[in-house]
Amino acid sequence: MSGVLKKIEKNPYQYNGEFTLLNSKNASNNLLEKKLYIESYGCAMNFSDSEIVASVLSKNGYRTTNIVEDAELILLNTCSIREKAEQTIRKKLEKFNSLKKSNKHLKIGILGCMAERLKSKLIEEEKIVDLVVGPDAYKDLPNLIYKVEKGQKAINVLLSKDETYSDISPHRLNSNGVNAFISITRGCDNMCTFCVVPFTRGRERSRDPQSIIKEIKDLEIKGYKEVTLLGQNVDSYLWFGGGLKKDFSKASEIQKTTALNFSKLLELCAINHPKIRIRFSTSNPQDMSMDVINIMAKYDNICNHIHLPVQSGSNKILKAMNRQHSKEEYIDLIKRIKQIIPNCSISQDIIVGFPGESEEDHKETLDLMETIKYSFGYMFKYSERPGTLAQRKLADDVDEATKKRRLEEIIELQQKHSLHRTKEFLNQEVEVLIEKTSKKSQLYWSGRNDENTVVVFPKENYNIGDFVNIKITDCTSATLLGNAIGYSKNN
């Protein structure tokens, strides 16, 4: 659709579905067209949410811009997972002070987890913030912006029982036209004691499978080649007609017998879209079922990679974190995964310096890493988050220097294991989906193989979006290097 949507009613920012379509010639005269600059922080879910926000606001005449100075509306989609993430946003806001001084019409909004966590405090503490909107309230943005335009501050941080934005077609931002994120669940019911997510993103709910399939179909028509199904805990996906996951026990018999779980959703996606590569993230060990692994093994277009955060290798710490699995159960799960998919790559999230973590506990984490030899991972120092059980009940008693040293130790070990894993590909042929020009050289393409390892190779005559077979000749701990042999059978 190349035209611009113009609203015909009193409140120019309130969307109620009544739009007339202007052709693009008229568009430049359209007084409603405004420039939106949106920046996302944190997890992939936030980046995916920003595409929903851009879609909601496009219906109100907002077009996105990458030039912050051009914007009439700046939105920061924020993360609260660690204190540092919030400090980054506060620093960013300081930088916007001068912009606001030079442009009196500029409005600034905070979206996402920090908005949800701090609510009206954000407006009180950060004077330049006009708008605060939580992750479940993006459909209300047009109303809120209307209020802001009238000179008021606006806030909506209501969490929802059923919002999944399944009816909104995301407006892809900074897209390469090849990879896309698709949210399949929102919220989290796990209540790990360190984690702020259940407070910022609410209770867990799943999205209607038909809308997921439709989104993949739309992407496929546009030429996309890979989708990543997203959720805080994808393996606990359960569609029984909508509503909170915790209410499933109260569902009717029909709803219970026709419910669709994650393995069935995955199969549905794989069968309906055999040409699309499918990834998913994040998996929680206690919810991952062998059905999912069997489906992964059955369909070629589901990638052999599982992001399986463990957080700690010590049972004492896992218990204090309220993780619902032991170290032994976790190791056994990976053993069973590898029995079915021997080349499945596994990645981790690990936190060091959780309250009460002794040197012995830390050593157990290093030992667990030695046992698994993860392909890659994301490692963090524990950051106390207000309102979490750990903050309320446990003393943040591992000193900063010890946290820093332990983090360095696990990062170093992970690098060793990553190299061990990339070396396994030497002299092998791997199928790569080309995603972008390599950062290191204009003459090389960068893409990923099935196991999610980055592969770099000379461009020749290949293009972004091509599936190519690459012979691996060299590697670092993070990247495989090689040469193209030809298009793969999936091209």
Binding site for ligand SF4 (CB under 6 A): 42-43, 45-46, 79-81, 112-113, 196-197, 200-201
Binding partner selected for residue 107 from ligand 5AD, ligand SF4, none, CB under the kind-specific 5 to 8 Å limit: none
Does position 352 interact with ligand 5AD (CB under 6 A)? The reply is: no
Q: In angstroms, what is the minimal distance from the CB of 229 to ligand SF4? A: 16
Closest CA to 52 of 173, 133, 188, 147: 173
Q: Which does 262 bind (CB under 5 to 8 A by kind): ligand SF4, ligand 5AD, none?
A: none
Rounded to 10 deg, the angle between the 327-340 and 290-298 helix axes is: 20
Shortest distance, CB of residue 383 to ligand 5AD, whole angstroms?
Answer: 4
Q: Mask: binding to ligand 5AD, 260-299, rule CB under 6 A, as x and -?
A: ----------------------------------------
One residue of 4, 36, 74, 81 binding ligand 5AD per CB under 6 A: 81
334: three-class secondary structure by DSSP: helix
Q: Is 21 exposed, middle or buried (0-12, 13-18, 19+ CB in 10 A)?
A: exposed
Is position 382 an interface residue for ligand 5AD (rule: CB under 6 A)? yes
Query: Alpha helices, DSSP H only, in 192-314?
Result: 197-201, 209-221, 253-258, 262-272, 290-298
Q: Residue 295 in contact with residue 270, Cβ under 8 Å? A: yes
CB of 477 to ligand SF4, least distance (A): 25
Nearest C-alpha neighbor of 94 from the set 126, 66, 123, 70: 126
- In terms of Cα–Cα distance, which of 201, 207, 206, 204 is closest to 167? 207
Shortest gap between Cβ of 227 and ligand 5AD (angstroms)?
21
| Binding flag, residue 385, ligand 5AD (CB under 6 A) | yes
CA nearest neighbour of 374 among 405, 420, 337:
420
User: Interface with ligand 5AD includes 403 (CB under 6 A)?
Assistant: no
| Residue 41-80 contact track with ligand 5AD, rule CB under 6 A, x = bound | ----------------------------------------
Q: Which of 6, 7, 82, 403 binds ligand 5AD (CB under 6 A)?
A: 82
Tally of CB atoms within 10 A around 125: 11
Would you state the structure tokens that stand for residue 58, as one six-digit string? 């496009």
* Residue 185 vs 383, nearer CB to ligand 5AD: 383
Is 195 a binding residue for ligand 5AD by CB under 6 A? The answer is: yes
Q: Whose Cβ is closer to ligand SF4: residue 46's or residue 236's?
A: 46
SS3 377: strand
> Parallel, antiparallel, or unpaired: how do β-strands 131-133 and 179-183 relate?
unpaired
Binder to ligand 5AD among 185, 200, 314, 383 (CB under 6 A)? 383
Alpha helices by DSSP H, listed for 382-443, are 389-393, 400-423
Tokens of 21: 């379509």
Q: What residues line the site for ligand 5AD (CB under 6 A)? A: 81-82, 194-195, 309, 311, 349, 351, 380, 382-383, 385
